[in-house]
Homo-oligomer: A and B are copies of this chain.
Amino acid sequence: MMPPDYVFGLIGHPVSHSIGQIVYNRYFQKKGLNAIYLSIDIFPETLKYFMSYASKMDGFNVTIPHKISIMDYLDQIDWEARSIGSVNLVKTEDGLLKGFNTDYYGIEYMFKKGGVDVSGKSIVVAGSGGIARTVIHYLIKNNAKSVTVKARDVKLAKNKLNAYDVDIKEYANNDYDIYINCTPLGTEAVGDPFPEVQFGKGKIAVDVVYNPPVTPFLKRAGISGSKTLSGLDLYIGQAIKTLDILTSGCDIDTLINSVRVAVNEVR
């Protein structure tokens, strides 16, 4: 077996749920690219050790809990990632570490593919972490009428999202147009981020969780007539941008095929 020419990967804690190691390794093999994608589990306490190794990799995705703390280690951060304040991709170029936010492109891809225009809509987002921040950035930039954040710890969420003009509440109600889950609730089909909400025609339910592609929350909303957008499209959109940045291009059909295989294999 020939050692790979390129070493890519994912860093986070945990990473055992992530389908990336199947998606990208399968994609590289299909495209004849001699590259590897490693899922690397890194505690908050050990990020500092990993960063000495980081420039030996050609690039890596970043997930919880490092999307914000990684920024302190980077040589450059692209303006989208800087304005969002969250990085989910690092590329190594001439030994320099450059940060990007491809989640933003994943969110854009998901809404466009679903034919949903957020302008003039009242929207509630569950969660206040890195992906919630990126979603809020997209909603405000695309002229949402109002954005409310549902958070268990209202004070903490206010602190984390102080850069954004958003209301923060402990519970949602039935008055919003669009409901977006940005928490891990629903991963492995456990948990519902909006148990207090009755869905129906005219409401739109959106989930950033991609595994399973139809979470309990989306299933409940869909059955009652709401339009639903799956986190799998966000994942695909984000992966298209990741491959664009890391390998200067993306064969979307091969990528989508690899994602579908991965989601079936990991369940």
Contacts and interface: CB of A to CB of B under 8 A. Distances in A.
Interface stretch (A8-16, A157-165, A184-192): A8-16
B7 A52 contact: no
Nearest to A11: B38
A105 to B, nearest CB: 25
- For the residues of A in contact with B, the DSSP-based class is mixed
A72 interface: no
Interface stretch (A21-29, A136-144, A167-175, A236-244): A21-29
A50 interface: yes
B22 A50 contact: no
Interface residues of A, number: 33
List 6 A-B pairs, minimum CB-CB distance, nearest first: A14-B16, A25-B49, A1-B52, A39-B41, A36-B53, A21-B46
Contacts of A42: 21, 39
A146 interface: no
A256 to B, nearest CB: 18
Given A45-B22, A46-B21, A4 B52 contact: yes
Nearest to A45: B265
A79 interface: no
Interface string A28-40: 0100000011111
Contacts of A45: 22, 265
A252 interface: no
